[in-house]
Amino acid sequence: MTDKTVILGSGMAAWGAFDRLSAEGVTPRMFDKNDFPGGHTASFETDGFIFDDGPHISFTEIEDVKELLAEAVDNDYEVLKADVDNYYQGVWVQHPAIAYLHALPEDLIVQILREFIEVSAQPVPDKPANYEQWLLASYGETFTRNFPGRYGKKYHTVGPELMNTEWLGPRLYRPDLNEVLLGAIRPPQTSKHYIDKFRYPKKGGFEGYLRKFFDRADLTLGHRATSIDPVAKTIRFDNGHVESYTDLISSVPLPAMIEMLPNVPDDVRRAGSLLSCSQTVVVNIGVAREDLSPAHWRYIYDEDMRSVRLSFPHMFSPTTCPPGHGAVQVEVYYSDKYKPLDHKPEDDIKPVIEELTTMGVLREDDDIVFSEARFIEYANVIFDLDSGPAAKTVQDYMASIDITPCGRYGDWAYIWTDESYLSGRTAAQKVLDSHTS
């Protein structure tokens, strides 16, 4: 058993680690750099509006995680059928667009169909050189350039030619030829999105799933780790506090972790420098009107718009807004490596409102009663061509100095809520196993 386990972070992965350790009678000390708990699972309330730290929903099919999340909110959650669409040059197209081509201009439909017929006769490479090669082999050039290639660059801040395919999973739907042809004539009869139904807490935003965890945990906020000595087994924080540990579980992003460690070998330090994450400015807007969108979230393909994805919290739960009001959260993406943020986050508010008006989400005469911009330092792992080997180099080094990473930025993976929880649980099991082997 561990004598003094420390967990860095307090998001979903940290909860998974905490739960597993607690089941064995271990009470870890937890530290979070923020002055609020929850990491990306946090929710913020201002003037009666509740916005999550970026859009979050739960659609897990893992039964024990389902039960755990349900119990966390005393079974008080919404179950919603996902409605998703896309904005492309003035047209709203259901998602995934490849299965709903009928909404597009006829000349574009014809070109996409011609190329899709050609590529559908050929197998997709088992090991494509990059994401672009996979897209071209899956959909053809015209659809790739206008839809996933374009959106991917907005979302990941890097072009598909510089990305790997390790992150794909079920995120991109590749229908058969009959589906594409029928979808070019009329709407498909069934949904093709990888999310059918999802859950969301009725009260308090997505953070509701963690509140019981906060009550149970030995959690200290406002402590940003600045250096770690793996020999002395101590962590120094930015306020001067020093904490000792026997075992350390960390959800800190891998490149930030390498910066905190002394005497890191040159190859490991170089690997850490190759890893990068996107950053997000979320523009949160409250409106004195509820009928803002037929879809729960919407993807924006136009390259001249900074808006990347829209989500509508009041459609997840009406308690996220004052009565008679609606809300929209808009994600705008940046990254130090590929698309640096060169202005204040609040400078995105006005252009985003103008874009929402152009798209018809907002009206010229809408009463906008709330607006803010929040900067999220770490959003998504950027799966560029350097990331896979570099991440493994860093993870192997961390294992050699008895630090156990977990979560999206520790596993360096595109993982969802349930996978984050399981990642933390797996990390805790590794720690427990190390004391019994």
Q: Provide the terminal-to-terminal Cα distance of the chain, rounded to the nearest Å.
A: 11
* b (16+ CB within 10 A) / e for 335-344: bebbbebeee
Q: Are residues 134 and 249 in the same domain?
A: no
Q: What is the pTM of this model?
A: 0.95
Could you tell me if residue 299 is inside a domain?
A: yes
Could you tell me if residue 216 is inside a domain?
A: no
Q: Which amino acid is at 72?
A: A
As separate numbers, helices (DSSP H) first and strands (DSSP E) second, the chain gives 15, 19
| Number of domains the chain contains | 3
* b (16+ CB within 10 A) / e for 78-110: eebebbbbbbbeeebbbbbbbbbbbbbeeebbe
- Among 379, 396, 413, where does a domain finish? 379
Q: Which amino acid is at 59?
A: F
pLDDT of residue 171: 66
Q: Are residues 246 and 390 in the same domain?
A: yes
Structure tokens at 204: 């308090």
Cβ neighbour number for residue 171 with a 10 Å cutoff: 10
Could you tell me if residue 267 is inside a domain?
A: yes
Q: Are residues 114 and 178 in the same domain?
A: yes
Could you tell me if residue 212 is inside a domain?
A: no
Q: Please state the length of the chain.
A: 437
DSSP annotation of 384 reads B
Q: Are residues 197 and 318 in the same domain?
A: yes
Could you tell me if residue 53 is inside a domain?
A: yes
Q: How far apart are CA 153 and CA 137, in angstroms?
A: 18
Q: Are residues 145 and 287 in the same domain?
A: no
Q: How far apart are CA 165 and CA 157, in angstroms?
A: 15
Region for residue 160 given its phi and psi (left: phi exceeds 0; alpha: psi -120 to 50; beta: otherwise): alpha
pLDDT of residue 125: 87
Q: Are residues 375 and 226 in the same domain?
A: no
Could you tell me if residue 210 is inside a domain?
A: no
Could you tell me if residue 339 is inside a domain?
A: yes
Render pLDDT for 175-201 as a digit per residue (tens, 0 to 9). 889 989 999 998 766 665 567 889 999
pLDDT by position in tens, the chain (length 437) = 556 999 999 999 999 999 999 999 999 999 999 999 999 999 999 999 999 999 999 998 899 999 999 999 999 999 999 999 999 999 999 999 999 999 999 999 999 999 999 999 998 888 899 999 999 999 999 999 999 999 999 999 999 999 999 888 766 777 889 989 999 998 766 665 567 889 999 999 999 999 998 989 999 999 999 999 999 999 999 999 999 999 999 999 999 999 999 999 999 999 999 999 999 999 999 999 999 999 999 999 999 999 999 999 999 999 999 999 999 999 999 999 999 999 999 999 999 999 999 999 999 999 999 999 999 999 999 999 989 999 999 999 999 999 999 999 999 999 989 999 999 999 999 999 999 86
Nearest to 28 by CA among 239, 305, 235, 219: 219
Nearest to 29 by CA among 241, 343, 292: 241
pLDDT of residue 126: 84
| Domain carrying residue 180 | 97-185
Q: Are residues 19 and 166 in the same domain?
A: no
Q: How far apart are CA 199 and CA 201, in angstroms?
A: 7
Assign residue 87 the CATH number of its domain.
Answer: 3.90.660.20
Could you tell me if residue 211 is inside a domain?
A: no
- Among 335, 359, 379, where does a domain finish? 379
Nearest to 307 by CA among 344, 281, 332: 332
